[in-house]
């Protein structure tokens, strides 16, 4: 038998036959390694997971027309070719028109869209009832539903007149919801909904400026701007009654025009067509969508007669901010009719949250490793105390200091090996469970994870043994002759 | 030929002189017993001879080398190569089997050899118990394993501190038989004991009192005893 074999036989015997004590050390290493490997797995997987997750909270890219003409559905579809298909989680078209309710002559902004895509790009939409699934079904914004007293399954007759007639023949009626639209930057429309009091002073105002540049014109939809109109009498004059948003004069002007030309027109449905629609669901978003009516593109076509036209397309793309920028450049370079824009806010916060999360993972890992080290070190210290006599005996039998050192280090490293293997696997399982429960998707085993977990565990175990070994080496062999 | 010589050895713990100017001479192949009341310095002396401690004063010549002056690393080497130790407490590594305990001694000395270790256990009558853990062995059996472990590397000198202190008559006789056999093979034996019967088996008894050699008794009957023992062994 070689010395190495005997060495292995001794340390395995020590671990296997003195189970209870070693189990504590093994367990603490395994738990440490489990947390380590679990966190590392999540650490590497979280950016991917979080990316998908964040995209779940809304679109991160917007397509709009770049010319005077309204964007064509086909043009938007062509633009999508610049993005790899598997990166597109959802692409939702929106066409906004103003539609009237035949019964009470109230006007509402109505969006024609694709409901299967809405659920992908706006998963936070809460719908009472259901999304429309057949023809002649609509989704009512909560505010609209409250205004007209509609419920799920109510039937509403909607009618449509071309925008020009709506503006021309409209009348501003106190107390009722008024709508209006006007052309803003790049010939893209801006929509307003508002109410006025007896003196025609504005009491409520919401603006839809989705077709405008978010950093500039888009600001006109923010409360800081809409608040400026409250209390102002119609007609409103820009830069006299209210100040324009800096850098967004055209959009500010469009908002003002839309307000001045808004109305709850009493023009009969004869001017356009009308349809009976069933309320499939009521939409609760906490945002401006609550004042809209949504219907399928086909129904909107049936109502307005116009084909294949959209104002914006919201995209949810699973990509890093660099990739997003690349796609946007590609679209803006290749498509002359379509402009692509980043919805910046979401992507930035995504990166910020990720880096915070990653430093948190680092911190927790460091703390766990230190705790593991303390625990293993304490256990090994107790082991040395417990085995004082044995160590003295080994020395009396001729063991040199370095043999004692090697034996204890060997036991420690062996524990590290077992604990690392066990913990590495446990940790991966733990990460898998977290991933499935929190993110709803499974993760792949990093091939390097196990070796790294084992090496780190062995290093931690070896470090933890240093102090106990020092104590073991200091034991006096003469103590075996003392009748203790 | 002289194997061990203690010259004016003293071991002083503060006020207490555990050993006080001791002079002892042991020849190669001699079997010496050491007796004395508790606290007279027997274990202290064994520690010094066994290279586990150093005297405060004096010289200890083992094979002509003054071990009082060696480094502790060198002492470990000498102990491993020349000395076999047997203790009253029959210390065994409690998670290793009997044969593995014997092999530990081989492991530190040179090469573990299971067959040789099993033969050594056979010599102390424990071939059948080789794969038992210490907890499965009686006190007497454990002490016999310790004897096997002490002789496995063929040491020049076997030091035994109260080897029979915890044994019954039958096991004591087995151990004494083994000592007689080792003596016949030429191994030098130094045995600390309280038991006059064990001391009487030796060639010479040194009595310590208060850290000094009080007297030495030569066993006149030794030759006769050995003959009788040999006869008994054959018969
Ligand atoms: N490390 C030490 N420090 C202080 N005093 C010690 C130390 N070791 C031994 N002594 C003292 O030295 C004296 C001799 O002790 P020793 O162990 O040699 O006695 P002994 O003859 O072996 O006794 P026993 O028969 O009880 O084993 C005792 O009085 C003991 O208390
Ligand atoms: Mg003693």
Residue at token pair 């004991």: B193
Q: Are residues A158 and A276 in the same domain?
A: yes
Asked if residue A265 is part of any domain, the answer here is: no
Mode of pairing for the β-strands spanning A88-101 and A107-113: antiparallel
* Ligand 1 in reach of B165 Cβ (< 6 A): no
Nearest-angstrom CA–CA distance, B204 and B218: 4
Q: Counting Cβ atoms within 10 Å, is residue B152 exposed (0-12), middle (13-18) or buried (19+)?
A: buried
Contact present, A208 and A221 (Cβ < 8 Å): yes
Q: Is B178 in the pocket of ligand 1 (CB under 6 A)?
A: no
**CATH number for the domain harbouring residue A206:** 3.90.1010
pLDDT band at A271 (very low <50, low <70, confident <90, very high): very low
Count CB neighbours of A436 within 10 A: 12
Tell me the residues surrounding ligand 2 (ion) with CB < 5 Å: B 43
What is the C-alpha separation between B105 and A358, in angstroms, rounded? 53
Q: How far is the CA of B211 from the centre of ligand 2 (A)?
A: 12
DSSP letter for A185, please: G
User: Last residue of a domain, which of A227, A260, A293?
Assistant: A260
A64 CA → ligand 1 middle, Å: 98
Residue range B45-66, pLDDT digits in tens? 999 999 988 999 999 999 888 9
Q: Which of B17, B39, B47, B207 to mutate to test the pocket of ligand 1 (most atoms within 8 A of CB)?
A: B39
Euclidean distance between CA atoms B78 and A333, whole angstroms: 87
Nearest residue of A to residue B100, measured between CA atoms: A10
Q: Are A41 and A449 in contact (CB under 8 A)?
A: yes
The verdict on A322 and A436 lying in the same domain is no
Same domain for A48 and A102, yes or no, is: no
Residues paired with residue A112 on neighbouring β-strands, in sequence order: A95, A295
A397 with B76: Cβ contact below 8 A = no
Question: For residue B212, what are the contacts with CB-CB under 8 A and spacing of at least 6?
Answer: B20, B21, B22
> In this complex, do A482 and B76 lie within 8 Å of one another by their Cβ atoms?
no
From CA A455, how far away is CA A450, in angstroms rounded? 9
Count of CB pairs separated by less than 8 Å, A with B: 89
Q: Are residues A120 and A30 in the same domain?
A: no
Output the CA B79–ligand 2 centroid distance in Å.
Answer: 19
User: pLDDT under 50 in chain B at which residues?
Assistant: none
* CB of residue B11 inside a 6 A radius of ligand 1: no
Query: Could you give the 3-state DSSP secondary structure of residue B164?
Result: coil
Does A357 share its domain with A471?
A: yes
Pocket flag, ligand 1, residue B193 (CB < 6 Å): no
Whole-number Å distance between alpha carbons of B189 and B31: 5
- Can you give the pLDDT at residue A345? 47
Output b/e per residue, A382-402; b: 16+ Cβ within 10 A.
Answer: ebbeebbbbbbbbbbbbbbee
List the structure tokens of A447. 């091939």
Quick one: which of B185, B189, B218, B222 has its CA closest to B204? B218
Asked if residue A278 and residue A134 are part of one domain, the reply reads yes
pTM given for the model: 0.62
Q: Cα–Cα distance between A81 and A99 in angstroms, integer?
A: 33
A183 & A252 share domain: yes
The answer for B 54-113 residues in CB contact with A (under 8 A) is 73, 76-77, 79-81, 85, 87-89, 91-96, 100, 103-109, 111-113
Say yes or no: A382 and A457 in one domain. yes
B176 contacts B201 by C-beta, under 8 angstroms = yes
Residues A358, A336 share a domain: no
Q: Is some CB atom of chain A closer than 8 A to the CB atom of B184?
A: no
Question: Are A256 and A307 in the same domain?
Answer: no
Alpha carbon of A389: minimum distance to chain B alpha carbons (Å) = 8
Choose between A450 and A280: higher pLDDT. Answer: A280
Between CA A197 and CA A175 the distance in angstroms is 6
Alpha helices in A202-343, H assignment, sequence order: 223-226, 249-260, 297-304, 321-334
Contact A481 B161 (CB under 8 A): yes
Q: Which is nearest to B49 in space by CA: B73, B71, B37, B66? A: B66
Whether A134 and A277 map to the same domain: the answer is yes
CB A474 within 8 A of CB A408: no
| ipTM of this complex prediction, to 2 decimal places | 0.90
Q: What's the CATH number where A86 sits?
A: 2.40.40.20
B53 touching A, CB under 8 A? yes
Residue A432 lies in a domain: yes
Three-state secondary-structure class, residue A229: helix
Domain total in chain A: 3
Distance CA A83, CA A73 (A): 16
* Domain stops at, among A260, A285, A317: A260
**Does residue B211 have its Cβ closer than 6 Å to ligand 1?**
no
Residue A250's domain comprises 178-260
Asked if residues B34 and B193 have their Cβ atoms less than 8 Å apart, the reply is yes
- B-chain residues within 8 Å CB-CB of A5? 112
In the structure encoding, which two tokens stand for residue A401, read together?
């200091």
Residue that terminates a domain, selected from A285, A315, A342:
A342
Q: Is A477 near chain B, with CB under 8 Å?
A: yes
Strand partners, A92: A314
Q: How far is CA A472 from CA A288, A381, A406, B94, in A?
A: 73, 9, 11, 17
Q: Where are the alpha helices (DSSP H) in B64-160?
A: 72-82, 98-109, 114-123, 139-151
Strands A202-208 and A189-196: antiparallel
pLDDT digits (tens, 9 = 90+) for B132-160: 999 999 888 998 999 999 999 999 999 99
Q: How far apart are CA A70 and CA A22, in angstroms?
A: 75
Whole-angstrom distance, CA of residue A308 vs CA of residue A78: 14
What's the pLDDT tens digit per position in B21-37? 999 999 999 999 999 99
Give me the residues paired with residue A192 across strands: A180, A207
pLDDT digits (tens, 9 = 90+) for A303-355: 888 888 899 999 888 887 788 889 999 999 888 888 898 875 455 566 677 77
Does ligand 1 lie within 6 Å of residue B44's CB atom? yes
Check CB contact under 8 Å for B100 and A10.
yes
Among A137-141, A170-174, A286-290, B98-102, where is mean pLDDT lowest? A170-174
Cβ–Cβ < 8 Å for A132, A295: yes
User: B206 phi and psi, to 5 degrees?
Assistant: -105, 130
B105 lines ligand 1 (CB under 6 A): no
- Confidence (pLDDT) at A123: 77
| pLDDT classification of A163: cutoffs 50, 70, 90 | low
With contacts defined as CB-CB under 8 Å, which chain A residues touch B103? 1, 6
Confidence band for A263, pLDDT divided at 50, 70 and 90: confident
Residue A297 resides in a domain:
yes
Q: Is residue A369 part of a domain?
A: yes
Question: Atom 28 of ligand 1 has which residue's CA nearest to it?
Answer: B39
Domains of chain B: 2-234 (3.40.50.300)
The verdict on A107 and A134 lying in the same domain is yes
Rounded to an integer, the average pLDDT of A164-175 is 59
Judged by DSSP in three states, B68 sits in helix
């Amino acid at each position: 038998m070689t010395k190495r074999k005997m060495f292995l036989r001794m340390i395995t015997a020590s671990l296997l036959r003195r189970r209870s004590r070693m189990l504590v050390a093994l367990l603490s290493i395994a738990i440490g390694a489990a947390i380590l490997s679990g966190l590392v797995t999540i650490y590497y997987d979280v950016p991917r997971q979080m990316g998908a997750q964040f995209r779940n909270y809304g679109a991160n890219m917007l397509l709009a027309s770049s010319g005077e003409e309204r964007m064509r559905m086909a043009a938007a579809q062509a633009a999508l070719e610049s993005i790899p298909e598997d990166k597109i989680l959802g692409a939702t078209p929106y066409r906004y028109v103003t539609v009237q309710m035949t019964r009470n002559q109230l006007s509402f902004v109505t969006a024609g869209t694709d409901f299967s895509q809405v659920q992908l790009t706006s998963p936070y939409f809460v719908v009472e009832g259901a999304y429309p699934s057949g023809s002649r079904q609509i989704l009512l914004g909560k505010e609209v539903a409250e205004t007209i007293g509609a419920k799920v399954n109510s039937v509403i007759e909607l009618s449509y007149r071309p925008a020009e007639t709506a503006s021309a023949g409209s009348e501003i009626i106190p107390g009722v919801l008024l709508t209006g639209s006007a052309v803003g930057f790049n010939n893209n429309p801006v929509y307003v909904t508002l109410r006025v009091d007896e003196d025609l002073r504005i009491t409520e105002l919401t603006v839809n400026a989705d077709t405008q540049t978010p950093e500039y014109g888009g600001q006109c939809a923010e409360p800081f701007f809409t608040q400026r109109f409250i209390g102002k009498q119609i007609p409103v004059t820009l830069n006299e009654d209210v100040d324009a948003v800096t850098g967004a004069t055209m959009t500010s002007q469009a908002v003002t025009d839309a307000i001045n030309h808004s109305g709850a027109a009493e023009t009969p449905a004869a001017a356009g067509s009308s349809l009976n629609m069933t309320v499939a669901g009521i939409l609760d978003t906490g945002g401006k969508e609550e004042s809209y009516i949504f219907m399928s593109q086909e129904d909107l076509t049936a109502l307005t007669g116009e084909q294949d036209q959209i104002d914006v397309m919201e995209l949810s793309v699973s990509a890093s901010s660099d990739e997003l920028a690349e796609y946007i450049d590609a679209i803006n370079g290749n498509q002359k009719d379509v402009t692509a824009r980043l919805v910046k806010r979401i992507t930035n916060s995504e990166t910020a949250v990720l880096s915070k999360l990653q430093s948190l993972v680092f911190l927790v890992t460091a703390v766990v490793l230190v705790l593991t080290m303390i625990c293993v070190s304490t256990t090994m210290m107790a082991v040395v105390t417990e085995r004082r006599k044995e160590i003295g005996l080994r020395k009396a039998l001729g063991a040199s200091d370095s043999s004692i050192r090697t034996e204890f280090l060997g036991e420690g490293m062996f524990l590290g090996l077992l604990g690392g293997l066990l913990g590495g696997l446990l940790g991966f399982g733990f990460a898998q469970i977290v991933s499935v429960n929190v993110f709803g998707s499974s993760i792949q085993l990093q091939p390097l994870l196990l070796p790294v977990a084992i090496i780190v565990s062995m290093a931690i175990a070896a470090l933890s043994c240093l102090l106990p070994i020092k104590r073991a080496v200091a034991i006096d062999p003469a103590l075996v002759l003392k009748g203790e | 030929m002289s194997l061990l010589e203690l010259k004016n050895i003293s071991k002083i713990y503060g006020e207490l002189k555990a050993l006080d100017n001791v002079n002892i001479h042991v020849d190669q192949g001699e079997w010496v017993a050491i007796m004395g009341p508790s606290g007279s310095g027997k274990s202290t002396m064994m520690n010094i001879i066994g290279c586990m401690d150093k005297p405060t004063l004096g010289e200890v010549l083992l094979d002509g080398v003054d071990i009082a002056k060696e480094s502790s690393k060198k002492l470990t080497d000498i102990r491993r190569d020349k000395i076999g130790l047997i203790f009253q407490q029959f210390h065994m590594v409690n998670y290793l089997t009997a044969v593995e305990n014997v092999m530990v001694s081989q492991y530190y000395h040179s090469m573990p050899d299971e067959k040789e270790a099993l033969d050594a256990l056979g010599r102390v009558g424990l071939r059948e118990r080789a794969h038992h853990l210490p907890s499965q062995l009686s006190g007497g059996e454990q002490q016999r394993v310790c004897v096997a472990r002490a002789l496995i590397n063929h040491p020049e000198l076997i030091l035994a501190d109260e080897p029979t202190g915890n044994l019954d008559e039958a096991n004591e006789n087995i151990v004494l038989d083994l000592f007689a056999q080792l003596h016949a093979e030429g191994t030098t034996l130094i045995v600390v004991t309280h038991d006059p019967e064990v001391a009487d088996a030796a060639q010479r008894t040194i009595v310590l009192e208060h850290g000094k050699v009080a007297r030495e008794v030569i066993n006149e009957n030794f030759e006769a005893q050995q003959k009788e023992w040999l006869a008994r062994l054959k018969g």
